[in-house]
A = this chain, B = another copy of it.
């Protein structure tokens, strides 16, 4: 059994766990082309010797590399590096990416409104768990911008149960994301997204300072926490010519 020899160069991550260290190390080697596209990785037995760990630990590292799209396996043959760059990590919950170079102008937002409102049936369906009866929720209306360019108009409906008094902390450029995580210790877990194309109505056009009928990417999403309780529901009107939604879907 040899000693552990990890890749040199930029470290991708640290971990206290063997399987995660090995995952980072092999990922590093794939990125550094020490393991080239299409090539076969050392077989599990060899990796056991290389890292001086059990087979289970090797396989756990490989599982993660597989899920993230770096390798694939063929039973009876071996484990191979995918022939093209791949990182299937889903463009996480903040998955809208700007077309425009964000070199000039920083992302910022204008809060138009932040208050408690009565729930409509439509929104209640999105925020309700079933047994709890919600009457009100927090409502935030914002324009998101890049520098002085409008990007989208956004309405957010927040589950009051999960983050009481959150509107008291809302300021123009506060990250609601950070509020959820730090102030309320909530971890966002899943988002159900819907996207469609619509023509801007006169009122939306006015808010976004665009022309009536311009193409709008209308997105709704319900974001939930770890036990699947809805944290918030958001509807957003993205100016079509300024945003692209990107994602990876596996199999």
| Partner-B contacts on A (CB < 8 A) | 38, 56, 69, 72, 80, 82-86, 88, 90-93, 95, 129-130, 187-199, 213-218, 224, 226-230, 238, 240-241, 243-251
Query: Nearest chain B CB to A52's CB is how many angstroms away?
Result: 21
Alpha-carbon separation in the docked complex, A245 to B193 (Å): 8
A-B contact pairs, 18 of them (CB 8 A): A80-B227, A92-B249, A189-B251, A191-B248, A191-B249, A192-B247, A193-B245, A193-B246, A193-B248, A194-B245, A195-B217, A195-B244, A198-B241, A199-B213, A199-B215, A215-B215, A215-B240, A247-B249
Chain B residues with Cβ below 8 Å from A38 are 227
A83-B227, A251-B92 as given contacts; A244 in contact with B129, CB under 8 Å: no
Alpha-carbon separation in the docked complex, A77 to B38 (Å): 43
A82-B227, A84-B228, A129-B83 as given contacts; A93 in contact with B194, CB under 8 Å: no
Chain B residues with Cβ below 8 Å from A190 are 69, 86, 88, 248-251
